[in-house]
């Protein structure tokens, strides 16, 4: 096979895997052992701490422009009736020491949700995330029931239906 043909075949194969594995809703990785630090206290936190209540985890980074849109939507969603009974966690993935930038983003968006810090981006491995932002929906047992890559609309019917399903 010629190099260009091989490259195109690889691109098609990767695209198909991504489309099958991450199409809107669907499980990413297991996520049940995901453990990081509380952004404010540095104390260990994990998906196990969320058990007993459905949860929504959203990854973000200070350098990510799309994350600004996601964080604004996330906070508005967190303040709405649609978020009732749902634990909401914003997971920062910055590896660098950018605490001032993190604090500025939190203040800009008025974030009142739980804040976790994942400097090694274990989020990627735990949930099969290909980039930031990625939103992961967990049921009350901590099982991944939905993965939404990219910035999402928290008023989207597909997202709200998935959330309603984990609450019932």
Regarding pTM above 0.75, the answer is yes
Does any domain span residue 139?
yes
Find the CATH number of the domain harbouring 57.
3.40.30.10
CA separation (Å) from 3 to 8, 14, 150?
A: 9, 16, 31
Does any domain span residue 9?
no
Does any domain span residue 38?
yes
Residue 16: per-residue pLDDT: 29
Does any domain span residue 8?
no
Residue 32: per-residue pLDDT: 63
Residue 6: per-residue pLDDT: 41
Does any domain span residue 3?
no
Does any domain span residue 17?
no
> From first to last of its 168 residues, what are the pLDDT tens digits of the chain?
554 334 333 333 333 233 333 333 444 445 668 999 999 999 999 999 999 999 999 999 999 999 999 999 999 999 999 999 999 999 999 999 999 999 999 999 999 999 999 999 999 999 999 999 999 999 999 999 999 999 999 999 999 999 999 988
Does any domain span residue 1?
no
Residue 168: per-residue pLDDT: 81
Q: By residue range, what is the domain housing residue 84?
A: 24-167
Residue 143: per-residue pLDDT: 94
Q: How far is CA 44 from the centre of its chain?
A: 18
């Amino acid at each position: 096979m010629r190099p260009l043909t091989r490259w195109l075949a690889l691109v098609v194969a990767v695209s198909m895997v991504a489309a099958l594995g991450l199409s809107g809703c669907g499980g990413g990785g297991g996520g049940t052992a995901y453990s990081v630090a509380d952004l404010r206290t540095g104390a260990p936190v994990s998906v196990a701490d969320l058990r007993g209540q459905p949860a929504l985890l959203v990854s973000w980074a200070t350098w990510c422009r799309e994350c600004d849109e996601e964080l604004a939507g996330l906070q508005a969603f967190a303040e709405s009736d649609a978020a009732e009974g749902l634990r909401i966690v914003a997971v920062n993935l910055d590896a660098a020491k950018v605490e001032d930038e993190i604090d500025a983003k939190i203040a800009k968006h008025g974030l009142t949700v739980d804040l976790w810090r994942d400097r090694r981006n274990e989020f990627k491995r735990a949930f099969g995330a290909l980039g930031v932002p990625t939103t992961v929906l967990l049921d009350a047992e901590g099982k991944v029931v939905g993965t939404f890559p990219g910035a999402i609309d928290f008023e989207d019917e597909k997202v709200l239906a998935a959330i309603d399903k984990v609450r019932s």
